[in-house]
Amino acid sequence: MIAVEGYQGLRVGVLGLGRSGLATCAALMEGGAEVCAWDDSPEAREKANAEGFGTVDLTKQGTVEGLDVLITSPGIPHLYPAPHPVIAAALAAGVPVDNDISLFFQALENRDEPPKVICVTGSNGKSTTTALIAHLLTVAGRDVRMAGNIGTGVLSIELPGEGGVVVLELSSYQTDLARRLAPDVAVFTNLSPDHLDRHGGMGGYFAAKKRLFTEGAPARAVIGVDEGEGQYLATQLAQSVDDTRVIRVSSGQKLNGPGWSVSARKGFLSEWRGGKQAHSIDLRPMAGLPGAHNHQNACAAYAAVRALGLAPRQIEAGLASFQGLPHRSQLIGEKDGVTFVNDSKATNVDSAAKALQAFPKIRWIAGGLGKEGGIAALTPHLGAVRKAYMIGHSARDFALQLGDTPHEICETMERAVARAAEEAEPGDVVLLAPAAASFDQYPNFEKRGEAFAALVQDLLGR
């Protein structure tokens, strides 16, 4: 745990008592703050009380006005579509509102030799890129901690030792509110529409991501430039075309200008500096990084650790040994020439499109609780789909948008896996890439992916 100093004797409200909220309470109390913890859920309050954090009803009129600062969890709206009542009361009373990411950077300010910090944001690929960066550094012998949106509250970690690195995945909710952002290396993977209700539209969503770079002023910025927003951000940060503080990253484009870039084309990663190729890596044999979207993740991770001084050969060894993350193009197994891949994290059409472009012959399992527009935007990416097997609440709606693509309404994961495996031929990939939320049948995408993996394991006889 990281003790947060600077709040000794102050009354600090903590709104939201999930994983990061409880870690925040502990870190503030360790630093001498008087913590007033609250969550709208009685179960969460009961857990907080059991762990020794006294709860105070921050919804009671006049309570928030007595706080010196309010720390809120990222899942709680602070502006759009409407602020949580406790946050609204804090804003009206002039009480500063902050989050645990900001407290983490504040804690580092008091360290004589703080660790290096790499922060990763973007729409898709954040988790894989974050985990890959941590893996590359670990393989190279560095002391690494990984936290943030990837699953560990940042204030619950122990800081690494000398020469260590903290790698953080940051969502737009986290970057939007943090009053302090000071990474050594910041990574922007890509941008596609998501969480627009929380940011008042696409402009607000991009602005939240951009704060990591404009407010954080990293020594190095790794920017995915396959979309217009990334190109704009890279040019806003660079002082000139050959400014090596900005490392441009692409999957599909050839980047070989006068600056510093890392790109992947036809399965080969290439690093260019000053118009000269510095290194090249064949990504095609690397089972943990299938498809162009993972090659973009590999480029971003390569650039981030190169910025910290890792040698290309060290990075290549780490890329080869990376096993991928669960539910993100995760190889479950193979039988009779048929491969089974779990990409349950593909909860929107953009991430599903990337998965559909990663394999040549696909038996596609999709569906769930569909989002606005359904899967109509996937029409250009269905060329490799031999047949689709639709599940969940939106199965029939999705089927109507498949055009001439062969399909079957299966409704359940059990039937979809059984039918896809029964009809699959050698060389086919049975791919779970739902393009939908999971909440109609599963509590989260992880449980959906676990259900798929368990069914496949039964088929494989494991």
123 is in an annotated binding site: yes
pLDDT score of 54: 85
**The predicted structure's pLDDT at residue 124:** 87
Give the pLDDT of residue 439: 95
Which segments in the chain show pLDDT lower than 70? 462
pTM of the model: 0.87
Tokens standing for residue 372 = 């606005």
Does residue 160 contact residue 144 with C-beta atoms inside 8 Å? Answer: yes
394 marked among binding-site residues: no
pLDDT at 39: 97
Per-residue pLDDT, 87: 98
Q: For the chain, give the secondary structure using H, E and C.
A: CCCCCCCCCCEEEEECCCHHHHHHHHHHHHCCCEEEEECCCHHHHHHHHHCCCCECCCCCCCCHHHCCEEEECCCCCCCCCCCCHHHHHHHHHCCCEECHHHHHHHHHCCCCCCCEEEEEECCCCHHHHHHHHHHHHHHCCCCEEEEECCCCCHHHCCCCCCCCEEEEECCHHHHHHCCCCCCCEEEECCCCCCCHHHHCCHHHHHHHHHHHHHCCCCCEEEEECCCHHHHHHHHHHCCCCCCCCEEEEEECCCCCCCCEEEEEECCEEEEEECCEEEEEEECCCCCCCCHHHHHHHHHHHHHHHHHCCCCHHHHHHHHHHCCCCCCCCEEEEEECCEEEEECCCCCCHHHHHHHHCCCCCEEEEEECECCCCCCHHHHHHCCCEEEEEEECCCHHHHHCCCCCCCEEEEECHHHHHHHHHHHCCCCCEEEECCCCECCCCCCCHHHHHHHHHHHHHHHHCC
- The reported pLDDT for the residue numbered 364 is 98
Q: Is 254 known as a binding-site position? A: no
The answer to whether 361 is a known ligand-binding residue is no
Domains and CATH numbers, the chain: 11-98 (3.40.50.720), 110-321 (3.40.1190.10), 330-460 (3.90.190.20)
* 345 annotated binding-site participant: no
According to the model, what pLDDT value does residue 323 have?
Answer: 86
The torsion of the CA quartet 82, 88, 91, 93, rounded to 10 degrees, works out to 160
Q: Does 60 count as an annotated binding residue?
A: no
Please state, in angstroms and as integers, the Cα–Cα distance from residue 390 to each residue in 270, 305, 326, 343, following that order.
39, 40, 22, 15
Q: Is 291 part of any known ligand binding site?
A: no
Question: What pLDDT is recorded for position 112?
Answer: 87
pLDDT at 259: 96
